[in-house]
Amino acid sequence: MSITLGVLSDSYRRQLRRLQDQPVIDVVVEKVAAVARATDIGPIGIDFGVGALPSTDKTYLAELKTKFADLNMVPTVIIGTLGLHADQDFAGPPIEASIRNLEVANYLGSPLGLFYFNYGGRVKREGRIRIAVEQIGRLAEAARQFDMTVTTENYDFFTSDDFLLIFEQVGADNVGLHNDTGNWLILDEDPLTATRKMVDWTHHAHVRDYRIVDGVCSSVPIGMGDVDFPSVLAELKKVADRRDRFVMAMEMDMDVGDAAAEDEAVLECARYMKKWLDAQG
């Protein structure tokens, strides 16, 4: 078993969007380092997007890579968001940027390139699946030169059955899912059932809990919401047993609260996950 606990940068999104001059990555590194110190997690994963970096020149990236090593951090890099749109003026630039960002992710030591989707209007489900297959295929082919795997996340449109169809149609062995444990609830899927269904395709996880209130999935610290975390984590452990590296990055997505509340919520998640991991022996 090779499990690394980590933190997704967007867990601090409320305070990050209020930043003035400080680069996003600098704040995230400080926050994640504080979590590691407070909970004795090490190494600790750090998930972030290329867009969080103030520069992608090699001098800066080399300095950042050294900082990660010094802080015992394991980076996983988000390379972009693909546009599932019929108009290539909208669909073309995002896939091209994501392909370029593979080099950045690889240089920083991330074996995965994480990506997401934006949805254009007038495209039916079968159209979105077709465009997703085409774009993921391009991304996967580009990732081969770096020996990388590209993964997308379940969110608010594609179901687990959709992902199975998409990945099978892409037909590449370096394509898969980073499983967001809470997001299955958005489409009324059971997180445990979906996690089991996607085991063969899962390479990474964003561990997140939701409490559903008045039709809204409200982010709460792990173990305090509607996700059956003991059972879901047991399934993710089976994934880890099959992977050389498996990061479970904790995620919060608060609708209210100040910086202190955000920080404490992430710490609560980290305490829960550290206790769980220690119990695995």
| DSSP structure string for 137-171 | HHHHHHHGGGT-EEEEE--SS--HHHHHHHHHHH-
Q: Which residue intervals of the chain are DSSP H helices?
A: 13-16, 24-39, 58-70, 88-107, 125-143, 160-170, 191-197, 229-240, 259-279
Number of residues in the chain: 281
174 φ, ψ (degrees, to nearest 5): -120, 40
Kindly report, residue by residue over 132-145, the tens digit of the pLDDT.
Answer: 999 999 999 999 99
**Cβ contacts of 57 within 8 Å, gap of 6 or more:** none
pLDDT score recorded for residue 121: 86
Residue 159: which domain range? 3-279
Kindly report, residue by residue over 65-102, the tens digit of the pLDDT.
Answer: 999 999 999 999 999 999 999 999 999 999 999 999 99
Determine the straight-line distance between the first and last CA of the chain, rounded to whole angstroms: 10
pLDDT score recorded for residue 281: 82
- Distance (Å, whole) CA 273 – CA 133: 34
pLDDT score recorded for residue 108: 99
pLDDT score recorded for residue 250: 99
Residue 111 has pLDDT above 90, yes or no: yes
Model confidence at 1, pLDDT cuts 50, 70, 90, reads: low
**Cβ contacts of 215 within 8 Å, gap of 6 or more:** none
Q: How many CB atoms lie within 10 A of CB 66?
A: 10
DSSP letter at 55? -
Structure tokens of 54? 């103030």
Which whole number is the average pLDDT over 177-192?
99
Average pLDDT score over the chain = 98
Report helix, strand or coil for 116. strand
We report the CATH number of the domain holding residue 168 as 3.20.20.150
Residue 5 has pLDDT above 90, yes or no: yes
Percent of the chain with pLDDT over 90: 98
Which whole number is the average pLDDT over 184-211?
99
Choose among 151, 184, 186, 222: nearest CA to 5.
222
Choose among 208, 235, 204: nearest CA to 224.
208
Which whole number is the average pLDDT over 157-178?
99
Distance of CA 23 to the CA centre of its chain: 20
Domain count, the chain: 1
Q: How many CB atoms lie within 10 A of CB 17?
A: 8
- Distance (Å, whole) CA 142 – CA 251: 29
Residue 218 has pLDDT above 70, yes or no: yes
